[in-house]
Amino acid sequence: MWGEWLGMQKTIVVLGMHRSATSLVACGLHQEISMGDDLLPASGSNPRGHFEDRHFVRMNDRILSAAGGSWDRPPSRQGILGVGERFSDQIQSTLDLASSGKEIWGFKDPRTTLTVPLYLPFLQNPHFVCCFRDPDQVARSLQRRNGFPLEKGLRLAAIYNRRLLTFLSDFTGQWHEPPSGS
């Protein structure tokens, strides 16, 4: 399965809103590739584990905080881009540490859905696995886990999904181009 990738480092990045099956996807990937060396432990809401490396969680929390927000109070995209340069060296060293000696590796932290534009210049041969879940189900799951009102969960799901689609559009450069001949 991974044979065609040999000889070239690949980075698999799992993106998606919290409670959108990102842990499930990362668990499956972790069966074949390293998803981190310092993973958060399992919890009641994710009994098999979160498959989030603490280094990326901390990095993303610092970025979001510097931009004036947090995972559940997402700062504007411009706010995140505005603090990017101050985190460049830290992002590079976090990626270097996580990828050292690995041909294929990955990471997952739902916050990366907001911060991925800052990581992109430093990722080696990135491949993105994007997770989407019915926003109503996300909101209900956040209500159970965090006690959030449904409206807050729906708003968060909309923000994360919109940011992910914007990133994919920017990354591929093809989503908004009309078909040739139109």
> Which residues constitute the domain of residue 62?
8-132
Percent of the chain whose predicted confidence (pLDDT) is above 70: 91
Banded pLDDT at 182 (limits 50, 70, 90) = very low
31 domain-assigned: yes
Residue 131 near residue 42 (C-beta atoms within 8 A): no
101-148 residue pLDDT tens = 999 999 999 999 999 999 999 998 999 999 999 999 999 999 999 999
pTM score = 0.88
78 domain-assigned: yes
Q: Does 174 have pLDDT greater than 70? A: no
Structure tokens at 70: 């947090």
Banded pLDDT at 178 (limits 50, 70, 90) = low
Structure tokens at 24: 């499930």
29-40 residue pLDDT tens = 999 999 988 878
SS3 state at 81: helix
177 domain-assigned: no
pLDDT of residue 4: 55
Structure tokens at 89: 């060296």
137 domain-assigned: no
Q: What's the number of domains the chain is made of? A: 1
174 domain-assigned: no
161 domain-assigned: no
175 domain-assigned: no
78-109 residue pLDDT tens = 999 999 999 999 999 999 999 999 999 999 99
68 domain-assigned: yes
Residue with token string 């972790």: 30
